[in-house]
Amino acid sequence: MSVLKGRWPRAVFYDSKGTLFDWPWTWKQAAQKIVKKYDSTVTGDQFLETWAKFFEGFHRRAAAVRYTPLSDLIREAMLMASKVHRIDAKPDDVNFMLDVQDQVQLYPETEAALQEQQDLGVKVLIYSDVEKEYLDMYVSKFKRFKADFVGTTDQAGFHKPHPKTYSWVLGKTGLDVRDVLYCAGPTFDCMGAMAMNMVCAQIRRSGMTRDTFLPGDVLADYEIDDLHGVTEIIKRNRFG
C-alpha cells in the first residue's frame, strides 16, 4: 500500500494482550497452580503448551461461527488439555487465571512508547479479544497516558480475525483502513488485519512463543521487538 509522508499513519490500531500488557503471565500462573493442585507429573510449561494450542483452535472456530466469551473458550481449552494430560481438572479451575487479571502489568516500554506516538500526532487505539471488565483493569495501569479509543470484541460481537471486528473499530473511530498501522503479536490477528488491507507490524517479544509460519502465510509488513519500533515506523513515514 502506498502512503503519503506527513499523513500516514493517522492512528496505530493495537491488540492488547501480549502486545501492550503481559497477559501471558496469567496463563503461566494458572498452569502452575493446576498441575500443583492435582499433583501431576506434567510440568506447568507442558500443560500450558497443550492448553494454549487448544485455545487457539477454539478461538479460531469461534471467529468463524459465533462470538463466545473469551473466558468460556479458555475454560473449554483447559478441560481438553486436562484430558490429554490425565488431570481431573474442574471447570472452576479456570479461576486460577481469571482471578489474577487485575494483576496483569504493562510491558516496561508500553506507556512511554504510546505517549511518544500520541505526541507525534498519531491516535492510539486499543482493542482486545477479552471481556471489557478485564481490559478496563489493564488500561487502569496507565499512570498518565490515555488512549484515544478502547474497545473489546464482546462489544463488537465478533472475534478476531473476523473482518467485521476490525471494521467495527474503524467505524467507531471514523478511520479508514488506509489510515492505520495495525500492531499485534499473534499471526492470526495480523493476517486478519492484512486481509482488510491494513499495514501491519508484528511484535516479536523476547521470551514469548512464536507462531510457526505455514506455506502461504502472508508476512507482516514490519517485524519489531518492542513498541519503540512502532514509534520509529511512524517517524520514518510521517517525517522521513
Under a CB-based contact definition with an 8 Å cutoff, are residues 24 and 44 in contact?
no
Report the pLDDT value the prediction gives residue 206, as an integer from 0 to 100.
Answer: 65
What are the grid coordinates assigned to 125, written together? 487505539
Of 142, 113, 143, residue with least CA distance to 205: 113
Report the pLDDT value the prediction gives residue 218, as an integer from 0 to 100.
Answer: 65
Report the pLDDT value the prediction gives residue 239, as an integer from 0 to 100.
Answer: 80
What are the grid coordinates assigned to 213, written together? 509460519
pLDDT in tens, the chain (240 residues): 444 455 799 999 999 999 999 999 999 999 999 999 999 999 999 999 999 999 999 998 999 888 999 999 999 999 999 999 999 999 999 999 999 999 999 999 999 999 999 999 999 999 999 999 999 999 999 999 999 999 999 999 999 989 999 999 999 999 999 999 999 988 888 989 999 999 999 998 865 544 544 444 568 899 999 999 999 999 999 886
Q: How far apart are CA 82 and CA 42, in angstroms?
A: 10
Q: How far apart are CA 122 and CA 10, in angstroms?
A: 5
pLDDT tens profile 176-235: 999 999 999 888 889 899 999 999 999 988 655 445 444 445 688 999 999 999 999 999
Report the pLDDT value the prediction gives residue 210, as an integer from 0 to 100.
Answer: 47
Q: Which residue bears the cell 489510515?
A: 179
Q: Which residue bears the cell 474503524?
A: 170
Q: What stretch of H or E contains 201?
A: strand 199-203
Ordered by where they begin, the domains of the chain are 11-22+104-239 (3.40.50.1000), 24-102 (1.10.150)
Q: Estimate to the nearest angstrom the gap between the alpha carbon of 219 and the chain centroid.
A: 17
Return the bridge partners of 106, or none: 21
Q: How far apart are CA 153 and CA 165, in angstroms?
A: 7
* Residues ≥6 apart with Cβ < 8 Å to 140: none
Of 125, 129, 144, residue with least CA distance to 183: 125
Q: How far apart are CA 75 and CA 126, in angstroms?
A: 25
